[in-house]
């Protein structure tokens, strides 16, 4: 292998810790072609098996190597409606790139970076081709939630000729892509471009519409004439830890903090945004997932912040966040307090002034197969912080479950659905985080696709 | 876009808005609220539904100008449009026949009790509304409340109208004189709601309050609106906003309402400066 894997040009860590501009800058056309040439075009491409939606990886990479970017884009879009998003946020290191054949000897092909390059090239050159749309079927389908699951499902159904309306509770479509994942990791103009592509396909997006409140699933089906419904409402119910002091001013859920900054543009407060954001100098983020990493890196970028900690009860090996993001966080000066667990929040006059923590050590493996953190006696210490962001996971929102009789859910409130997303209710499908719990963008998209195929079959079979 | 069909300036920096929002009207119930946003960079603020009109497809809101967003809204006119109005949110008020219902409203709380009193009246309950203000000319919605209440009792701080004192002064004497009261509902400033709870608690009179912590999405997603009721964490937007007054931790609610006070002040000061500069420019142009 003569060429090593191409590094990704990035903004300088010290510079970027002060702005919200995207961190990786993207490949140039030359870099992309060279990187694509590293792919050996396996007869039996493992990378495709590693991809939850089976993107035709060798084919699209072949077109990049040939310099035929439009064809590369078209190939990608056959299976993946949001390549610019996936190229940025998918955990490729655990999926396609993890099983890439050449990865056994040298570094794997940078599939994610190539995906991003192709999608960006298409968007920036304005060379966006519209797929063939089937003639109208006369069927109406409601999609609830404009996150990756809902957007994908809606796009596929629109291509099949159905009249699709997405109902979204917030004022902007995108789900976690707009309210959770920060601008510096996923510029919002990319989400906007994907959304406007859907509109070009004929999808109607109705924001400010909370299913369960504004209208129920039954009303959509019985009164508004929708032939089928897809529920993709995500996992947006913050968990707290149940330790003392949790309601002090200064303790935030990651959802609140990220929504204030990302969706409400709080990073431009007070000049261009009206929504206030926490203005603490010392911030601790509890958790070790992508949400924790995003919260910490977001806090780091707010101009008044001096110190940001990640507090995680296991070791770095067990951290569920993407390695790349952990690495970016370290480069930006976030301090990682590993094997550390908060025990209580300390307040003064209703405001947080500190967080008591305890050191942990790893014991025997637990049910998850990971070694269980065990507290070290007498290791308590107090961290001086005025803000704590709790990023310890999300449950499912009960608004739809409560208002849709006959829809069965499990003990976590997740909707029970089969392989295709079919639920216990006739004509109702579900997919994404609301079914499997907090997971990934590409899994949510995969679920949206499967459900779209099943919904198509169902509505076509009904006369 | 959600057009403002009608706007009226009322007393004490309170404004009445009639807004076109047909999809909300279809589901509106007493005790619920909407969340609105004025413009592209605006914040999301919760406002109680004071009334709605199924024929016109409009909702009526009473908004008190307290900070940047509500002050900006006070400068809007009929014909202008709000960027977003979403809802209705919250669990509707529980109404049950055969009760004497006493509703207490202070400030915009009078608008908030309005549909709830009406719902009780409609099912035949005896309704007594206690409304109050600092002085006579600041009193809101007297006629509207009279139209739906069996009795309206009024308190003004300065005694210029009705009983001199607070709404709680009236409630206290009602309870002392053993007037029959089955359910009390209080909506208004937290201190008022707390005072009502303290009066009824020893007597065991069922009492409800509608809590107004800082909110954002209104769907249970952000956790900003958490309150503690009966030692349990609740999200006011989806579990409330009405709760058992005797179980609410009011101290916590008051503290949490101040969560963003320093930022709100910065924002308001900048806004005032811009407004002043604009006024200067307008006078200069004259
Ligand atoms: C901070 C953060 C960082 C992440 N980073 C990554 C990453 O790097 N890579 C990765 O692959 N995954 C990441 N994830 C996970 C990923 O974002 C989710 O798995 C994915 O977004 C799930 O998609 P979804 O469509 O199921 O739901 P969501 O994206 O949650 O979208 C659900 C939508 O439904 C709307 N909705 C909810 N209830 C209603 C209702 N009643 N009526 C109408 N609309 C409703 C919501 O407002 C929302 O817009 C991250 C998650 C978070 C929170
Ligand atoms: C369920 C509910 C119903 C409400 N109904 C009404 C109503 O009918 N009429 C009315 O005038 N007001 C109502 N409010 C209060 C109203 O939402 C706030 O006055 C408004 O958000 C203040 O915004 P601001 O930018 O003008 O003021 P700011 O300067 O931002 O804040 C002033 C004070 O208002 C409160 N506040 C600020 N932001 C919010 C927020 N996002 N959510 C809740 N409170 C906030 C805080 O206590 C704060 O100290 C209601 C609040 C809730 C939670
Ligand atoms: S496994 Fe790797 S080398 Fe083989 S086709 Fe896929 S990307 Fe190319
Ligand atoms: S307002 Fe966000 S959870 Fe209630």
Assign 3-class secondary structure to chain A: CCCCCCCCCECCHHHHCCCCCCCECCCCHHHHHHHHCCCCCCCCCHHHHHCCCCCCHHHHHHHHHCCCHHHHHHHHHHHCCCHHHHHHHCCHHHCHHHHCHHHHCCCCCCHHHHHHHHHHHHHHHCCCCCCCCCCCCCCEEEEECCCHHHHHHHHHHHHCCCEEEEECCCCCCCCHHHHCCCCCCCCHHHHHHHHHHHHHCCCEEECCCCECCCECHHHHHHCCCCCEEEECCCCCEECCCCCCCCCCECEEEHHHHHHHHHHCCHHHCCCCCCCCCCCCCEEEEECCCHHHHHHHHHHHHCCCCCEEEEECCCCHHHCCCCHHHHHHHHHCCCEEECCEEEEEEEEECCEEEEEEEEEEEEEEECCCCCEEEEECCCCCEEECCCEEEECCCEECCCHHHHHCCCCCECCCCCECCCCCCECCCCCEEECCHHHHCCCCHHHHHHHHHHHHHHHHHHHHHCC
Nearest to A408 by CA among A393, A394, A428: A428
Cα-Cα-Cα-Cα dihedral of A279, A248, B240, B155, to 10°?
A: -90
pLDDT value at residue B286:
47
Question: Range with the lowest mean pLDDT among A2-16, A78-92, A331-345, B268-282?
Answer: B268-282
**Whole-number Å distance between alpha carbons of B122 and B93:** 13
More confidently predicted of A463 and A398: A398
End-to-end CA distance of chain A: 58
More confidently predicted of A126 and A134: A134
Q: What backbone torsions phi and psi does residue A403 show, to the nearest 5 degrees?
A: -110, 10
> What is the percent of chain B with per-residue pLDDT over 70, rounded to a whole number?
98
Task: Characterize B15-46 residue by residue with b for buried, 16 or more Cβ atoms within 10 angstroms of its Cβ, and e for exposed.
Answer: bbbbbbbebbbebbbbbbbbbbbbeebbbbbb
Is the omega angle on the peptide bond into residue A199 within 30 degrees of 0, that is, cis? no
Does the beta-carbon distance from A237 to B68 stay under 8 Å? no
Q: How confident is the model at residue B162 (pLDDT cuts 50, 70, 90)?
A: confident
Q: Are A238 and A258 within 8 A, CB to CB? A: no
Does the beta-carbon distance from A214 to B223 stay under 8 Å? no
Number of Cβ within 10 Å of residue A243's Cβ equals 16
CA of B46 to the centre of ligand 2 (A): 6
Identity of the residue in B42, B86, B226 whose CB atom sits nearest the CB atom of A247: B226
Q: Read off the tokens for A162.
A: 């159905």
pLDDT above 70 for A463: no
**Whole-number Å distance between alpha carbons of B134 and B155:** 8
Contact residues for B212 (Cβ-Cβ < 8 A; gap 6+): B46, B190, B236, B241, B257
Ligand 2 in reach of B109 Cβ (< 6 A)? no
Chain B touched by A401 (CB under 8 Å)? no
Cα A242–chain centre separation? 26
Cross-sheet strand order for the sheet of B45-48: B45-48, B33-37, B84-89
Q: Read off the tokens for B274.
A: 């811009």
What is the best residue among B29, B34, B70 to mutate for testing ligand 2's pocket, by most ligand atoms within 8 Å of CB?
B70
Name all residues whose Cβ lies below 6 A of ligand 4. B 215-218, 220-225, 235, 237
- pLDDT tens digits, A36-63: 989 999 999 999 999 988 899 999 999 9
Number of Cβ within 10 Å of residue B277's Cβ equals 10
Nearest to A395 by CA among A422, A415, A372: A415
Q: Is A14 exposed, middle or buried (0-12, 13-18, 19+ CB in 10 A)?
A: exposed
CA of B33 vs chain A CAs: smallest distance (Å): 11
> What is the percent of chain A with per-residue pLDDT over 70, rounded to a whole number?
99
What is the best residue among A234, A401, A438 to mutate for testing ligand 1's pocket, by most ligand atoms within 8 Å of CB?
A234
Ligand 1 in reach of A146 Cβ (< 6 A)? yes
Nearest to A255 by CA among B254, B256, B225: B225
Query: What does each C-alpha distance from B145 to A374, B159, B165 come to in angstroms?
Result: 61, 20, 20
Q: Are A417 and A429 within 8 A, CB to CB? A: yes
Chain B touched by A222 (CB under 8 Å)? no
Q: Is A369 exposed, middle or buried (0-12, 13-18, 19+ CB in 10 A)?
A: exposed
Does the beta-carbon distance from B221 to A397 stay under 8 Å? yes
- pLDDT tens digits, B51-101: 999 999 999 999 999 989 999 999 999 999 999 999 999 999 999 999 999
Q: Read off the tokens for A387.
A: 């803000």
Nearest ligand (C-alpha, residue A100) = 3
pLDDT above 90 for B222: yes
For chain A, the maximum distance between any two Cα atoms, rounded to a whole number of angstroms, is 71
Chain B touched by A171 (CB under 8 Å)? yes
Does the beta-carbon distance from B217 to A207 stay under 8 Å? no
Cα A241–chain centre separation? 23
Q: What is the mean pLDDT of residues A289-300?
A: 95
**Whole-number Å distance between alpha carbons of A249 and A287:** 20
- pLDDT tens digits, B102-132: 999 988 899 999 999 999 999 999 999 999 9
pLDDT value at residue B282:
59
Query: Pairing relation of β-strands B242-244 and B206-210?
Result: antiparallel
CA of B47 to the centre of ligand 2 (A): 7
Residues composing chain A = 463
Place of tokens 């579900």: A430
Q: Read off the tokens for A56.
A: 């035709």
Ligand 3 in reach of A46 Cβ (< 6 A)? yes
How many contacts, defined by CB atoms under 8 Å, are there between A and B? Answer: 118
pLDDT value at residue B283:
57
**Whole-number Å distance between alpha carbons of A79 and A89:** 17
- pLDDT tens digits, A210-259: 999 999 999 999 999 999 999 999 988 999 999 999 999 999 999 999 99
Query: A257 to chain B: nearest residue by CA?
Result: B222
Residues composing chain B = 286
Does the beta-carbon distance from B221 to A210 stay under 8 Å? no
Query: B266 to chain A: nearest residue by CA?
Result: A270
Best A216, A246, A247 residue to mutate vs chain B (most B CBs within 10 Å): A247
Ligand 1, atom 19, lies closest to the CA of A440
CA of A164 vs chain B CAs: smallest distance (Å): 19
**Whole-number Å distance between alpha carbons of B159 and A213:** 43
Task: Characterize A296-308 residue by residue with b for buried, 16 or more Cβ atoms within 10 angstroms of its Cβ, and e for exposed.
Answer: bbbbbbbeebebb
pLDDT value at residue B284:
56
**Whole-number Å distance between alpha carbons of A43 and A40:** 9
**Whole-number Å distance between alpha carbons of A170 and A190:** 18
Is the omega angle on the peptide bond into residue A445 within 30 degrees of 0, that is, cis? no
Nearest ligand (C-alpha, residue A256) = 4
Chain B touched by A172 (CB under 8 Å)? no
pLDDT above 70 for A208: yes
Nearest ligand (C-alpha, residue A168) = 1
CA of A71 vs chain B CAs: smallest distance (Å): 37
Ligand 2 in reach of B237 Cβ (< 6 A)? no
Query: What does each C-alpha distance from A458 to A227, A229, A454, A455, A461 come to in angstroms?
Result: 9, 11, 6, 5, 5
Q: What is the mean pLDDT of residues A1-21?
A: 82
pLDDT value at residue B7:
95
- pLDDT tens digits, B124-151: 999 999 999 888 888 888 999 999 999 9
Q: How confident is the model at residue A364 (pLDDT cuts 50, 70, 90)?
A: confident
């Amino acid at each position: 292998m003569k060429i090593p894997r191409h590094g990704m040009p990035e903004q300088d860590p010290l510079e970027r810790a002060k702005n919200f501009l995207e961190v990786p800058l993207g490949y140039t056309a030359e870099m992309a072609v060279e990187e694509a040439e590293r792919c050996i075009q396996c007869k039996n491409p493992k990378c495709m098996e590693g991809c939850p939606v089976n993107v035709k990886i060798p084919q699209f990479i072949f077109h990049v190597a040939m310099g035929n970017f439009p064809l590369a884009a078209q190939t990608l879009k056959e299976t993946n409606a949001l390549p610019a998003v996936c190229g940025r946020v998918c955990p490729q290191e655990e999926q396609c790139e993890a099983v890439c054949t050449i990865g056994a000897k040298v570094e794997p092909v940078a599939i994610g970076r190539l995906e991003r390059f192709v999608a960006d090239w298409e968007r920036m050159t304005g060379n966006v081709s519209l797929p063939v749309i089937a003639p109208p079927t006369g069927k109406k389908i409601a999609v609830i939630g404009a996150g990756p699951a809902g957007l994908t499902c809606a796009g596929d159904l629109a291509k099949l000729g159905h009249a699709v309306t997405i109902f979204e509770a917030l004022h902007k479509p995108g789900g976690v892509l707009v309210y959770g994942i920060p601008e510096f990791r996923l510029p919002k103009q990319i989400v906007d471009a994907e959304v406007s592509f859907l509109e070009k396909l004929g999808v109607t997006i109705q924001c400010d519409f909370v299913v369960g409140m504004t209208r129920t699933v039954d009303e959509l089906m019985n009164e508004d004439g929708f032939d089928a419904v897809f529920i993709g409402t995500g996992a947006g119910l913050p968990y707290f830890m149940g330790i003392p002091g949790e309601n002090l001013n200064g303790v935030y859920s990651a959802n609140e903090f990220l929504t204030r900054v990302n969706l409400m543009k709080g990073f431009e407060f007070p000049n261009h945004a009206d929504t206030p954001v926490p203005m603490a100098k010392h911030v601790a983020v509890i958790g070790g997932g992508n949400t924790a990493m995003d919260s910490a890196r977001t806090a780091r970028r707010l101009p008044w912040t001096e110190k940001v900690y990640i507090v995680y009860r296991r070791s770095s090996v067990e951290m569920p966040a993407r390695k790349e993001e952990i690495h970016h966080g370290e480069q930006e000066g976030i301090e990682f307090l590993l094997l550390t667990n908060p025990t209580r929040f300390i307040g003064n006059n209703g405001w947080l002034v500190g967080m008591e923590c305890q050191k942990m050590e790893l014991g025997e493996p637990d049910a998850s197969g990971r070694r269980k953190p065990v507290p070290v006696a007498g290791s308590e210490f107090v961290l001086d912080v005025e803000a704590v962001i709790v990023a310890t996971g999300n449950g499912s929102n009960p608004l739809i479950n409560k208002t849709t009789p006959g829809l069965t859910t499990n003990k976590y409130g997740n909707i029970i659905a089969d392989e295709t997303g079919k639920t216990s209710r006739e004509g109702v499908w579900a997919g994404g985080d609301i079914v499997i719990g907090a997971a990934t963008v590409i899994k949510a998209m995969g679920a949206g696709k499967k459900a779209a195929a099943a919904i198509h079959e169902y509505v076509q079979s009904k006369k | 876009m959600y057009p403002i069909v009608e706007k009226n300036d009322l007393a004490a920096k309170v404004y009445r808005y009639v807004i076109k929002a047909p999809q909300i009207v279809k589901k509106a119930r007493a005790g619920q609220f909407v969340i609105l946003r004025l413009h592209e960079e605006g914040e999301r603020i919760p406002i109680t539904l004071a009334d709605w009109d199924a024929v016109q497809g409009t909702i009526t809101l009473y908004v008190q100008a307290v900070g940047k967003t509500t002050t900006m809204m006070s400068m809007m006119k009929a014909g202008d449009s709000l960027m977003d109005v979403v809802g209705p949110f919250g669990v509707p008020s529980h109404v049950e026949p055969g009760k004497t219902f006493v509703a207490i409203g202070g400030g915009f709380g009078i608008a908030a009790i309005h549909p709830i009193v009406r719902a009780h009246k409609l099912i035949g309950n005896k309704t007594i509304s206690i409304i109050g203000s600092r002085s006579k000319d600041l009193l809101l919605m007297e006629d509207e409340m009279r139209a739906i209440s069996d009795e309206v009792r009024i308190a003004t701080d300065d005694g210029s109208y009705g009983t001199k004192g607070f709404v709680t002064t009236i409630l206290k004497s009602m309870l002392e004189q053993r007037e029959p009261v089955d359910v009390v509902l209080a909506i208004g400033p937290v201190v008022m709601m707390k005072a009502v709870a303290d009066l009824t608690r020893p007597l065991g009179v069922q009492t409800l309050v509608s809590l107004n912590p800082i909110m954002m999405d209104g769907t249970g997603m952000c956790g900003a609106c958490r309150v503690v009721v009966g030692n349990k964490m609740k999200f006011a937007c989806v579990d409330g906003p009405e709760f058992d007054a005797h179980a609410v931790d009011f101290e916590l609610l008051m503290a949490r309402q101040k969560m963003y006070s320093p930022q709100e002040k910065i924002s308001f000061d900048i806004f005032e400066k811009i407004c002043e500069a604009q006024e200067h420019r307008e006078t200069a142009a004259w």
